[in-house]
Structure 1
Amino acid sequence: MRHRCLAIAATAVLLLTSACTVERQWGGKTTAGEGGKAKVGLVTKTDTNPYFVELRAAAKAAAAAQGADFSALAGQFDGDNDGQVRAIENLLQQGATTILITPSSSTGVLDAIGRARAKGVLVIALDTATDPDTAVDATFATDNFEAGRQQGAYVKAGLQGAAPKLLMVDGTAGSTVDTARHTGFLKGIGLTDASPEIKGHTPANGDQSLAQQGMENLLQRTTDINAVYSMNEPMGRGAYAALQARGLVSKVVMGSIDGGCEGVRNVKDGQYAATVMQFPKKMAEQGVLAAVEYAKTGKKPSGFINTGSAVITDKPLPGIESHDTAWGLENCWGGQK
């Protein structure tokens, strides 16, 4: 009896220190490529962000439709690299045949991914690429450079020939997604980081409150602006609050990226002129289908698979392919439509 209690206590400690959440577990082993049942593990950055909630729900539904086992784990916060490493290790112990992961750090999970692949597990990155991208078998994601370029092209068109006077609200400095969207936006608007048309920029780590504070600080230096870049929709809402307080909303063209339902409603309500929608459901579904194919035949996907992006606006502009917010609300993710 004493040995049994010690074993239970040890298990409890392990669960309490795992720093990740688990949706479901399975037992046993399956050899990929022998027509067996796919055992799909998903590791997201968090389990609370609406984007990853949508991705997890879509993956779970796709797995159920395909008759695959499914287990979802997550870090405790965006940037919890250690939690994601432990999640990968947990999935390996459970006998996963495929691991789908949205890496918090493009380099921090490489050793764990390498161990998984060495055991014959298919590893697919969703949403965020690893560095190098060859660390995984394939990546199913938005082309974030292209999404940034679409936003930049829209803002440029919205200025109707006026020279940009731009403020930039960036995400987390050095992150793959932030860098790609930032450089893509500058390509679309026709500027570089050294361009004098950029009047200021602030990092906001994807956070609405930090974006508002950062924009307020920038506006203390100058209000002579006509364009704003926001790396994602929460930061777009923060930037809008600061602009509104200064009476500048009608004087600037602001874009964003995400395509969440709240973000589409922000566009409809005029908080910013456009957002670029990405499609987490498509990433998840394609990832699960690849996992099922791998379990059946051993065939692996490879390289970068772009799951697309689309400009959403009720102010269409010449030369910019776009959809209106009615379409956006039919196709958005993360909340009440």
Structure 2
Amino acid sequence: MALRLRTLTNAAVVLLAGVTLLSGCTKSEDGASPSDDSSGGEQVVASSSPGGAGCTLTDYGSPKLDLKDAIVGFSQSEKEANPFRIAETQSIRDEAEKIGVKKLLVTNAQSQLPKQISDIQDMLAQGAQFLIVAPLNSDGLEPALAEAAAKKVPVLTIDRKINATACKDYLAFLGSDFVDQGKRAADAMVKVTGGTGKVAILLGASGNNVTTDRTNGFVEQLAATAPGLEIVAQQTGEFARDKGQTVMEQLISSNPEITAVYAENDEMALGAVTALKTAGKKPGVDVKIVSIDGTRNAVQAIVDGTINAVIESNPRFGPLAFKTAADFYSGATIPNDVIIADREYDSTNAKDSLAGTY
């Protein structure tokens, strides 16, 4: 069966290092599609670092630690103005309380890189012994990482990758395969459009691997499978609903021939829905929309017929993050990359899946 995070044993985590990387990570280890999973939102580990690359407590040079006696810090990257960030932070808080972490420090960088650096440094000054970081950008956290490394404080990154060396600058990455998310979004777009039309891409924020990978995966998959779908515009909406709406207004004005929209998160997709309605178009009908995240509002929009498909990006990292920390301190080898499986929503399953969304 798929390795569900609440039942992972230390041995299972060690075994993850030897798991063959799944093609696109679209299926769990028993071959079942993530969209068939009925776990109510629980993250499922799909695969881990190919070739057995991983890190142990000895490799990292950190002292052994019982999390019930520890000060743990969580650095959130963006203001909690969208469901993904809200769910992610709450998941960390809930799991810390559940397992009895002595003290949890939580900061929010408000989408400002200098603040995220100072947030991490402040938590270290307050005695943080283990750090969970949702990076704002893939580059730029070097001063904070260097200070953590000097104090032998492990840094576990979640949801976005950083351009640094695992087991040296940070412990490991937990998150989705973002290239695959883009490819799956392209496949969904081909399905809902019939493989023809003119596509606009609402890009996420610049400077992080999520935007780059979701774009590359989508563009490459369309080029390989649907030459009849032409990308006519790409513009950043910065992962925000209001900016997604503004950009969509501009795009349909300058490119009235647009018949499909790929939004790299649900908030931008929902902004696009509003813009299209204001312009007198029928989102989901006149203009097909595919997005990524799996928020309740977006899945409800599928039910309502204004969004056509959504690829999930599961934000509930708390259980997996703290299980990874516990296994690390017990002596297990932690893979450099632990990739989770993500579901997919469309008109066939959206209504029945609402209860498991966030």
TM-score (norm 1): 0.78
2:296 pairs with 1:261: yes
2:225 pairs with 1:220: no
**How many pairs does the alignment contain?**
290
2:358 pairs with 1:328: no
**Counterpart position of 2:122:** 90
Q: 2: CA distance between counterparts of 1:169 and 1:139? A: 26
Q: 1: CA distance between counterparts of 2:223 and 2:342? A: 20
Shift of 1:326: 3.3
**Counterpart position of 1:284:** 318
Alignment of 1:81-230 (within 5 A): 81-132=113-164, 134=166, 135-160=169-194, 162-190=195-223, 197-230=230-263
Query: Sequence identity of aligned pairs in percent?
Result: 22
Q: 2: CA distance between counterparts of 1:240 and 1:246? A: 11
Change (3 A) 1:52 1:210: closer
SS in 2 for 1:307: strand
Cα distance per residue 1:135-182 (max 9 Å; x no partner):
32100112111111111110012222x423111111223432111111
Change (3 A) 1:140 1:327: farther
Letter paired with 1:260: T
Cα distance per residue 1:73-96 (max 9 Å; x no partner):
333422x11221122112222322
Among candidates 47, 64, 86, match of residue 33 of structure 1: 64
Change (3 A) 1:70 1:225: same
Q: 1: CA distance between counterparts of 2:239 and 2:79? A: 16
**Counterpart position of 1:247:** 281
Shift of 1:222: 2.9
**Is contact 2:199-2:258 (8 Å) kept?**
yes
Q: 2: CA distance between counterparts of 1:123 and 1:286? A: 14
2:71 pairs with 1:71: no
4+ aligned runs moved over 4 Å, structure 1: none
Can you give the 5+ residue segments of structure 1 that lack an aligned partner in the other structure?
1-30, 317-323
Change (3 A) 1:70 1:263: farther
SS in 2 for 1:190: helix
Cα distance per residue 1:185-210 (max 9 Å; x no partner):
12332369x99921112211122222
**Is contact 1:51-1:280 (8 Å) kept?**
yes
Structure showing greater radius of gyration is: 1
**Is contact 2:139-2:207 (8 Å) kept?**
no
Letter paired with 1:33: K
**Is contact 1:41-1:71 (8 Å) kept?**
yes
**Counterpart position of 2:57:** none
**Is contact 1:259-1:328 (8 Å) kept?**
no
Change (3 A) 1:68 1:326: same
**Is contact 2:179-2:213 (8 Å) kept?**
yes
Change (3 A) 1:241 1:34: closer
SS in 2 for 1:292: helix
Change (3 A) 1:248 1:180: same
SS in 1 for 2:289: strand
Can you give the 5+ residue segments of structure 2 that lack an aligned partner in the other structure?
1-61
**Is contact 1:204-1:235 (8 Å) kept?**
yes
Shift of 1:54: 1.5
Q: Which has the higher contact order (CA 8 A, sep 6+)?
A: 2
Q: 1: CA distance between counterparts of 2:132 and 2:199? A: 37
Q: 2: CA distance between counterparts of 1:327 and 1:69? A: 39
Change (3 A) 1:300 1:89: farther
Shift of 1:46: 3.2
**Is contact 1:266-1:272 (8 Å) kept?**
yes
**Is contact 1:168-1:230 (8 Å) kept?**
yes
SS in 1 for 2:343: strand
Q: 2: CA distance between counterparts of 1:85 and 1:246? A: 45
SS in 2 for 1:206: coil
Instruction: Answer with 253-262 or 297-306: which moved more.
Output: 297-306
Letter paired with 2:319: E
**Is contact 1:73-1:87 (8 Å) kept?**
no
Shift of 1:102: 0.5
Two-structure CA RMSD over aligned residues (Å): 2.4
TM-score (norm 2): 0.74
